[in-house]
Structures are given as C-alpha cells and as structure tokens.
Chain A
Amino acid sequence: MEVFNIENLTFKYPTKEKAALTDITLQIDKGEFILLCGQSGCGKTTLIKHLKPSLTPHGQTQGNIFYKSTNIKQVSTREDASEIGYVLQNPDNQIVTDKVWHELAFGLENLGIDKQQIRLRVAEMANFFGIQNWFYNDTASLSGGQKQLLNLASIIVMGVEVLILDEPTSQLDPISAVDFLETLKKINDELGITIILTEHRLEEVFKLVDKVIVMQDSKILFYDTPHNVCKNLIETQHPMANAMPTPARIAAALTHEELPFTIKSGRNLLYKLIGSTNILADNLIEKPIDTNFNILTLKDVFFRYTKDGNDILKGLSINVAQGEIYAILGGNGTGKSTLLNVIAKNLRPYRGKIKSSTKSIALLPQDPQVMFIKDTVSEELANNEISKLLNISHLLNFHPFDLSGGEQQKVALAKILLSNPDILLLDEPTKGLDCYFKAELAQILASLNKTIILVSHDIEFCAKYASRCGLYFDGQIISEGPPREFFSNNYFYTTSASRMCRHIISNAVTVKEVIETCQNQLK
C-alpha cells in the first residue's frame, strides 16, 4: 500500500523564473526506507516539504499529491502533526525547550494528550533511544549527535507513520552521523515507520536503504534499488558517481558482478580478483615534502582556558612548510578549533613557542554566518576579482543568509581572502557540503597557492587533497605524514579504500589508486 502518491507535480517559487520541481511522478510504499539525493539546489528540500503540508512553501503548484489516498490538501493539521514527522538539518535550531524531557513531551502537549499518556510515551521513547541517562539535562548541554537524536525522538514519540528528514547528519561528525543513520535503520526495521531521507553521506546510506531517488535539475533522474541506481550513475559517468560507496566504485571498475556496498563484501571481491598477496604498489611511493622552509613552527605549546581548567593543548609541536595544505584530523570536541585559534593568535598559549615568518594569518570559522555583516554579498566582498576566482559572481546580489551552506562557505572564504593572508586556517571547511562543492572547494584551495592549515573530520577529503595529514589526539599531534603514508599506517582511522584493501594492497588509500593497482595486477 502506498503512503504517498505524487502525480505530475510541478512547482515554481513566486520570485523565481525556473520551476523548482518539474513533472514529478512518484509512489512511496508503506514501510520503505527511501533515500533522496542530488546536487544542492536540485529541488530535494522543496519536494520533501511538499509531503508535509504545514511546511509546504507558497508558490504555483500543478499536479496532485495523495497521502494514504486522500489529497494532501485535505489532510487536517492534527493528522499533519501526529502522522508526518519532519526533522530539519540543523540540530540546534529545531530544539524548542530548555529540558530534554520537556522537548520530548512538546509535541504530545500540542496534541492535547493527557499527562498520564504523555508520561508513558515519553518513557517508552527515552528507553528506545537510550535517552534515560540525560533525561533531566538541559538541552544546551548536549552534543550535536545527542541533539539530533533528541529531535528524532521527539518526533517519533508522537506516533508518526512517516518520517521525513532533510540532511539530518550534515552538521554532525562522522561517528555521530553513522550512529544516527543506524538509528534510522532501527526505526525502520523495528517500528515499520516509512522514512524519506535526503543525505550527502551516500557512502554510509546506500547499504541501509530500500530505494534511492536521484534528482537532477528539478526532475527525477532515477528511482530504483540502490544497486541499480549505483550501477546507472557509474555507467553514465554522472558526477554523483564520485559519491557512491567506495567498494561499489572499485568493483564497478574491475568486474561486472553485483556491486558491494560494505567494506566486508568489497574485501571478499578483492580477494577473489587478485588473491591475498600483500602488494606494495611501486607507482604509489611518494617523494618527501621539503620541510626545510617552514612558514610556521609551533614548539611544545600548552594551552588551557582557565587557570584551574584542564590542558587543551599539551605540548603540541608542528611544522608547516610554505605552500602546503596541512590537514589536522581527530575526534570531536578535543581542541582542534582551539589549536587554530592559538595559531591565529586569538588565544595565547601559556607555555611554548610559536614562530611564523609572516604576520598575516586568517581564520575561517566553522559557521560562516558569524562573518556576514552586510546586506548583500557584493557589499560583503567589495572586490569583484575575488568573486571571480571563487566562482561566486552570480551570487553578488543575494543576502548572504539566503545562500546555501556551500555558497555561504565560499563567500566567507572570499571575505577572508580579501586581506590576502599568507596562511589560511580553515575549520571544518567541508562540513555539510555535497560532493560537488567539496570538489570545487578543493580546486579553489589548490589554485590559491597559499599555505593552508585545515582541521577536518573528512578523511576522504584530506586523503585526496592534503599534502600532509596529522592525527590530533589528547592535545598533541601524535603522527603525521603525506596522506598515503599516513593513512596506510593507520588501521582504523583511515579511508574506506584503505580499509578495503588492507593486507591486500598495503599503500593505496584512494579509490583511484586501488583501481589502478588492481588493473595493473590483472594485466
């Protein structure tokens, strides 16, 4: 039985020329777990907002949407609230109350459910999601992952039949993101709730979902099983093929068998193809970086926020060479951003030396919003050369807050570049970006010819584009090296490709390297 039946839906925003949705016809069955993906701005969010009447944007609409065979326009506000759940992108913005328990009860209070019943439902949910240990906490004290889990729980608790999520993990670190996605799978499996999810982290999602919808330019390109969609994207060399799960991309280049989505099945395939010999690919041995000319040196730097507090940086030492892209990887909330602020001289270490041959250091913070003061992008930049370089000339007349996350990131970067700094510090530059924006960002960074230090969770991005990587743990850089050497030395904290070919090809860390080495072997 279908939950949603969309017939020839076309939608245009009042101020825009182009339609945001063009002739969408779609059926979604009860209990399915559906992934909706596509480039930023392709109409994903507009489409899913049409499935939640209270959030449907205003504009010209043609075609019909049926929810459980009633026209969605006839769905009552009560049904809308209690049956169709909607989770937004930013974990912070959608929390309404100050206490975790109150947030869980908020929706039920709105529905006018009596106290005894709320008590029962809230208790059930707290148990299902493992919230009971922080049930009485302030919502402000939670981590990003916990916040998003709370948002999810406070919607499920209303007894929804359909759950719609708009890029729920884009603001989370990789570990919380995977946890969150697995919780969705659990909800789908154990409660039978229909889930419609838009997401950028396709690597982790493809193996979880039943069907995938790919959108492009306001239309539906594919709507099929993950396997067929993945195959189609790779065969047509669609730009999104780069975002497919690593094992599938490697397998597609080597065989015509069924595509694997997990590391485990990917490894089995490699064993079958090239055996279990441990290959050291000669072509991948890299030349060492010339670290003689250091632009920045930190030696035994200690930092803490308050006199009685714990040390955040504990004798950290680092050398950064002129013109390199140095990536600092590491866990969440351990002080990586603090390190950048120390380098930028926003914070002062209480021991240790920082030597740099330049004074012009600029920091791009994690939330680009904190940098926008003016009403338009052009006022913000006051310099059109920069906007050309970053490919944002078409955005000059917009308000910075009206842009997408990726566009905001680029404008903020442009603003930082106005002062023409020698060293550029980037805090989580790829957070919330899709594969298109990541590729573009990498290209921009490479073309700048500046020394760049970036802090990131994004292992795949660092493996591909950094000149050196350092692992930050417990206030120190505990290992560093060029990406290939760095990641092939790590067992767990490494790229999917490297995990997939561990003990098979010992020094390949990117998909391209694995494919090339295998092809050489198969010759």
Chain B
Amino acid sequence: MIRCYFSDYHPIVLFIYFISVISFAIFLMHPVCLLISISAAISYLALLRIKKYMLAIFLIISIINPLFNHAGVTILFYLPTGNPFTLESLLYGIATSFMIITVIAWFCCYNKVVTSDKLLYLFGKLLPQLSLIISMVLRLIPLYKIRFNKIMHANPSDNAFKTAALVVSIMVTWSMETAIDTADSMKARGYGLPNRTTFSNYKLTTRDIVVSIGLVVMSGYLICSNKLAVTYIPIFNYTQSLPDFIIYTILCYTPIILSIMEELKWKYLISKI
C-alpha cells in the first residue's frame, strides 16, 4: 500500500487544496465533475485508510428529493398524492446526494490530514491568543477525561443523578485548584510580556511553493473558463469542455498523483543501490 506523502506538505498547501476541492465539489454540479470528484475523494479515503459507509445517505437523498420536488418536464409517473414524479428532479436528487457524499468524504480526508496543530499554525498568525487557547483546551480535554474516570471510580453509587452531581462538583473544585498551578507556570515563563511570537515546526520549501502555485493556477483556470455549466430543472442540459475535465481531474487527484510519484521515486532510488 502507498502511504500518503501529501500529508507531509506545508499546511498552507494542504489548506489551498482542500479549500478548492471542497468548494468545487459544492459548486460544480456537472455530472462528469461529480464523478471525478467523488472518485478522487474515495481513492484518497482509501489512501488514508479511512472506511466510511455512505451508501445509505446516497439512497435516502436520491429518493427524497423527487418526492418533494415536482418541477421538471419529463414525468415518469404520478405519486398517490397526485403530484408528478419527474426524471429531472430524480437526476437532481442523485446529483445532490453525490455532492453531499463527496463533500463529506473530502471533510473526512481533511480531518485526517489537517490536524489541530496544522490548523493552529495557519490561523495562529491572525489570532495568536485564540490559537493558544485552543491549544490549551486540547491539552485539558484528555486531562479532564482521566480525572473524570478517577472520580467515577472513587465514588461508586447506584444513583446516576447523584453521581453526576457529585462528579461535576468535584471536577470543578479540583480543576479550579489545579488551574492556579497552571497560571503560576504560565506567569513563571513570562506569559503576558508584550510582543509574543508564535513558533511552528513548518518550513515552506520549494516543492510547497511549486505545488501551491499549481493548485492556485488550476483553480483559477476552472473559475475563469466557466465552461462546465449544467441545469437540471426544468430541463436537464449541460455543456462540456475536455481541457476543463482534465484539469479538474488533476486538481482532485493531486494528493494521489504526488504520493504515486514519491513512491516511484523511492522504488527508483532503492533499485539503484
């Protein structure tokens, strides 16, 4: 199995990538584009070893849309309520469900690739205080979880409500008490001095710049050319353009292409030893 080399890129590259694929997934409702995007998202999920079962959502949305949306010229049959069930609204339902599933799949990938510290790094410069607070909260969640379990163990009781009240009371007192230590520790290390800087481990290298330019150029082209129009209702109608399809495919498959290239490079380097 190939590992995902794309995750090693600079957070800014990852962020540009996900912003563009997710927005295109929402706005490009062209059937070919939907297929390109969903196939890329599903392949990327596989590359990241994430398993999701989204068939149910797909079926539900495809069927529900035509039940309530009766616009469209091609009537397939009439519902018991007397309303028409049209081909166009069925197609639109299928397209919408494709779109929703694709977006969900992209967000799953996003969650795995853009971890909390990468996100903090990206927005830390805009809101340094907020990013520190988020980092502190992420520190406290596991700490409080452990404390919660300790308290639950120490105070076994049959009455769930009583236990809950007890646990909350102890948690609050205990955490306030320990927060004094944390405040001391921050003060002792100069928190509150003016001109605080933000440190990160990420370094923008040439390959990051090259890939981000590539992503921006491809997205820009797709936005400007605007050749992939589609209407579902009242009449299903669409335009097409081969170069746009190719560029969209490359854009969506960027992580997979980069990972394969990297993998081949490894194979090549190893074969030369």
Contacts and interface: CB of A to CB of B under 8 A. Distances in A.
Same complex origin of A and B: yes
Interface of A: 52, 54-55, 77-78, 80-82, 85-86, 88, 90, 92-99, 101-102, 105-115, 118-119, 122, 138-140, 151, 154-155, 158, 341, 346, 363, 365-367, 369-373, 401
A371 B195 CA distance: 43
A428 B219 CA distance: 61
A126 to B, nearest CB: 11
The secondary structure that dominates the B interface is helix
B80 interface: no
Nearest to A164: B188
Interface residues of B, number: 45
A472 B139 CA distance: 33
A379 to B, nearest CB: 13
A305 to B, nearest CB: 11
* 4 shortest interchain CB distances as A-B pairs: A81-B190, A93-B181, A94-B185, A140-B142
A456 B187 CA distance: 35
A98 B120 CA distance: 11
Contacts of A114: 197
Interface stretch (B8-16, B88-96, B167-175, B224-232): B167-175
B182 to A, nearest CB: 6
Contacts of A119: 199, 201
Interface string B127-146: 00000100110110011001
B168 to A, nearest CB: 11
A109 B197 CA distance: 5
Given A105-B199, A110-B196, A112-B196, A55 B150 contact: no
B17 to A, nearest CB: 22
A346 B153 contact: yes
Contacts, number: 139
A365 B153 contact: yes
Contacts of A401: 173-174, 177
Contacts of B147: 370
B153 A341 contact: yes
Contacts of A111: 190, 193
A95 B187 CA distance: 12
B177 A369 contact: yes
Interface in B172-206: 173-174, 177-179, 181-182, 184-201
A522 to B, nearest CB: 51
Interface string B5-32: 0000000000000000000000000000
Given A94-B182, A367-B150, A81 B199 contact: no
Interface centre among B177, B195, B197 (most CB of A within 10 A): B197
Contacts of B146: 140
Nearest to B174: A369
Contact of B193 (A81, A92, A118): A81
A77 B108 CA distance: 45
A95 B178 CA distance: 11
Contacts of A80: 190
Contacts of A115: 197-200
Interface centre among B143, B178, B188, B196 (most CB of A within 10 A): B188
Contacts of A151: 185
B190 A140 contact: no
A119 B170 CA distance: 40
A105 to B, nearest CB: 4
Given A88-B181, A88-B185, A346-B153, A102 B135 contact: yes
